[in-house]
Amino acid sequence: MDNKSLNIVYLTHARLPTQKAHGLATVKLCEAFSTQGAKVLLLHAGGLKDKNTFEFYNIKNNFKEKILPSIDLVYLGIFKKLFFLIHVFTFSVVSALYIIFNHKKYKDSVFFSHNHSVLFFLTFFSYKTFFDVHDFPSVISTVQRVVNKSFGFSVQTKWKVGALSKKFGIPQEKIIYWPNGIDLNDFNITQDKLEAREKLFLPKNEKIILYTGQLFSWKGVDTLIRAAGVLNAGSSIYIVGGSDEDVIKLKKQIPDADYSRIKFISFQPHNLIPLWQKAADVLVLPNTAKEDISLYYTSPMKLFEYMASGRPIVASRIPSITEILNETNAYLAEADNPSSFVEKINFALLNTADSDKIAKVARTEVGQYTWDRRALKISGLLKKAS
C-alpha cells in the first residue's frame, strides 16, 4: 500500500500561522506527507491576521487547510491560562463536530495530532486516531483515554519510547521514533559569511555568537547572557527571536549582565534564518538541565538548522541533545554553566580548523533528519490503520 491511499486529517488547536516553532513543524510535516502522495487536510485555529499559511512558511501549496473557530480571548492579556484552556476546549469540540457532521467524507481518514485534547472527543466514535507525542503527557483521564484508543504513536526522542511504554503500557511496536527535521532546500543558500553579513547589515570583522529561537526559560538563554562579559575581546552575542516582553523579563532576571556585548534582534521570517546562521562564527544551543521538557522531551528544530548551516555548534550536554550531537559534530558544554560555554565558544573561535571539521561532519549527518524521512517513518505505521 503506497501513500496515495492515505487520507490524513492533521488537527491542532495551534493558531496558524504563528512565529512559534510548533507551527513550522506542523506545516512541514503536512507538506512532507502530501509530497509522498497522501491526501492531507490541516484543521487549525486562526493565527496571524492577513497572513497566508503557505506564503508565511514558504512551503508548497500541496495540502488543504481549514480554519475552525474557537472562543479565543488569550489576546486580552489577562487570565491567560484560563482563556487558553477555553480556547483548547472549544476548538476540540468544534473540530470533533465538524468531523462528525462530515462523517462520510472523513470516515476512512487517519486523525493525526500532537494535541491529545483535540483527539479526545473523537475517541468516543470509531475514528482512527494517531498521537504525535511532543511533550510527555501526565496520566490524567483524557490523556489515558487517547492513549488507550489510539492505534499508534510517534515521538521525537528515544527517551520517550521507553517512558511512554513504561508509564502507559504502550507496546513499543506501536511507537515510531524519529526526531524533528529540516528542509535542506531552505538552507542551501549560496551566500558566504561576508555576503550574509552585508545583506543583514552586520559588522564584517566582529566575532558573532548566535542564538536563534524563542526565549522560554527552558531554552537556557540566560546561560548565554551570563557568559557575555567574559568572552574573548571582539566577540558579540546576537539573540534572534523572542518577544519584547521576553527580553524585558530576561533583563530583569539578569540585571548585571554585560548587555553592551549582546544584541537582541526581534522575530525574523523563517526564510531569513539561514542567512543569519551563515553570518555567524559560532551557533549556540544552551538548553537547561533544570526542566524535563529540555532535558528529555524536546527535539529542537534549531539543532538541525544549526547542523545544516556549516557553522560550529556549542550545545548543552543533555540527553535530548546528545541523541543527535556528540564530540565529532559539535562542542558540548555543561548545561547551565556559563564558564563551560565560554570555554567552548572561545575554543571554537580560536581553533578554526577544528571548528570547520566538526561543522562539516554536522552538515553531512543532518541529511538523515529531514521532514521527508520523518513523514516516511510515521507513514509506515499510519498505513496499518488504512
Residues 109 and 149 in one domain: yes
Residues 129 and 31 in one domain: yes
Residues 203 and 303 in one domain: yes
Residues 264 and 322 in one domain: yes
Residues 22 and 131 in one domain: yes
Residues 171 and 240 in one domain: no
Cβ atoms of 161 and 177 closer than 8 Å:
yes
Burial of 310 (0-12, 13-18, 19+ CB in 10 A): middle
Residue 44 to residue 47: CA distance in whole angstroms:
9
Number of domains, the chain: 2
Provide the pLDDT for residue 1: 41
Residue 346 to residue 356: CA distance in whole angstroms:
14
Residues 204 and 159 in one domain: no
Q: What is the pLDDT along the chain (386 residues), one digit of tens a residue?
A: 456 679 999 999 999 999 889 999 999 999 999 999 999 999 999 987 778 999 999 999 999 999 999 999 887 888 889 999 999 999 999 999 999 999 999 999 999 999 999 999 999 999 999 999 998 877 788 899 999 999 999 999 999 999 999 999 999 999 999 999 999 999 999 999 999 999 999 999 999 999 999 999 999 999 999 999 999 989 999 999 988 999 999 999 999 999 999 999 999 999 999 999 999 999 999 999 999 999 999 999 999 999 999 999 999 999 999 999 999 999 999 999 999 999 999 999 999 999 999 999 999 999 999 999 999 999 999 988 76
Write down the residue that cell numbers 504502550 correspond to.
170
Residues 47 and 167 in one domain: yes
Residue 277 to residue 256: CA distance in whole angstroms:
28
Kindly report the three-state secondary structure assignment for every residue of 259-282.
Answer: HHHEEEECCCCHHHHHHHHHHCCE
Nearest CA among 298, 275, 274, 269 for reference residue 286: 298
Q: What is the CATH number of the domain that holds 166?
A: 3.40.50.2000
Question: Could you tell me which residues are beta bridge partners of residue 332?
Answer: 315
Residue 336 backbone zone (phi > 0: left; psi -120 to 50: alpha; other: beta): left
Residues 215 and 361 in one domain: yes
Residues in contact with 139: Cβ distance below 8 Å, sequence separation at least 6, in sequence order? 167, 168
Residues 175 and 188 in one domain: no
Structural domain containing residue 151: 3-181+370-385
The grid coordinates listed for 356 are 570547520
DSSP string, 167-217: HH---GGGEEE----B-GGGG-----HHHHHHHHT--SSSEEEEEES---G
Residues 296 and 196 in one domain: yes
Residues 192 and 109 in one domain: no
Q: Using alpha carbons, list the distances in angstroms from residue 93 to 83, 113, 143, 276.
A: 15, 15, 16, 41
Provide the pLDDT for residue 187: 94
